[in-house]
Amino acid sequence: MSGNTSPIWLFDCRIGALAPAELYDEILPDHLADTELLWKPIKDRRRQQHRHWDWRAKLADAAGYLFYQGFAVVAEGKTQGLMMVDRSKTARIPVQQGKDLVYIAFLETAPWNLGQQRLYRGVGTALLAAAIQCSLDDGFRGRIGLHSLPQSEDFYRKCSMTEFDRDPDYEDLIYFEMSESRAAEFMREIGS
């Protein structure tokens, strides 16, 4: 695989320790192939909520639009999670209302990273950090927003994102937004 990568860490639940992984700042053909050859059969079998997410179609839709950017997390040579961000949206929190933010249009982890028997934990954390870094790089000061799937709401609450009402324009999902100050706190260096 090629592309711009950053070293990251995931928690390998099989050994109970952190394991090295890579964050890609684009979604490459190999990542798409993994979603089709490795993810899809498992998702179809489990009838997961977002089993209908077709990443190849999403990437085709986004082609030509500069405000979309894809990200991928890879470990053990397999795609562990994907994210598509949209840099054309604006903030809703009153103190930053109307300002540009990075909106996480889609975030999905590999089906083997879901539930109690997951292989890796931390894919969502890494992708959330990538969205914040993308926001910082674009001059949006870390502002990000997203519509959470019901099973993930607690995670975004734990990240101290501001919670809005269910959004009737977005399939009744709850909208979460991270303020500049909270983003700075989230990304703050820990340890040495």
Partner 1 sequence: MKLNLNKQWFEQRIRAETCDVAAGVSSPLPTTSQPDLQEIEGLAFGRLIELLRRAQRLSVSALAAKANVSVEEIVCIEGDAKFTLDPQSVQRLADVFQLPPRALEALSSRAFAHSPRLHQAAVSFAADSAKISELTAEEQAALAGFVKVLSSQDG
Q: Residues touching partner 1: how many (CB under 8 A)?
A: 62
Among 134, 140, 142, 178, binds partner 1 (CB under 8 A): 134
* Choices 5-13, 37-45, 92-100, 177-185; region in contact with partner 1 by CB under 8 A: 5-13
Which of 92, 99, 106, 184 forms a contact with partner 1 (CB under 8 A)? 106
Establish if 100 lies at the interface with partner 1 (CB under 8 A): no
Among 42, 78, 112, 155, binds partner 1 (CB under 8 A): 155
Place of tokens 């860490």: 9
Tally: H helices and E strands in the chain: 6, 9
Distance (Å, rounded) from C-alpha 90 to C-alpha 101? Answer: 5
Q: Interhelix angle for 180-187 vs 123-137, to 10°?
A: 120
Counting contacts by CB under 8 A, is residue 147 touching partner 1? yes
Look at residues 137, 155, 14 and name the one whose alpha carbon lies nearest to residue 76.
14
**Could you say which residues in the range 8-37 bind partner 1, by CB under 8 A?**
8-11, 18, 23, 25
Task: Name the H helices within the chain.
Answer: 29-34, 40-46, 55-62, 123-137, 153-158, 180-187
Strands (E), 35-99: 68-75, 78-90
Question: Which positions lie near partner 1, rule CB under 8 A?
Answer: 4, 6, 8-11, 18, 23, 25, 49-50, 52-53, 57-58, 61-62, 65, 68, 84, 86, 88, 104-109, 114-115, 121-130, 133-134, 137, 146-149, 151-152, 154-155, 158-159, 170-171, 173, 186-187, 189-192
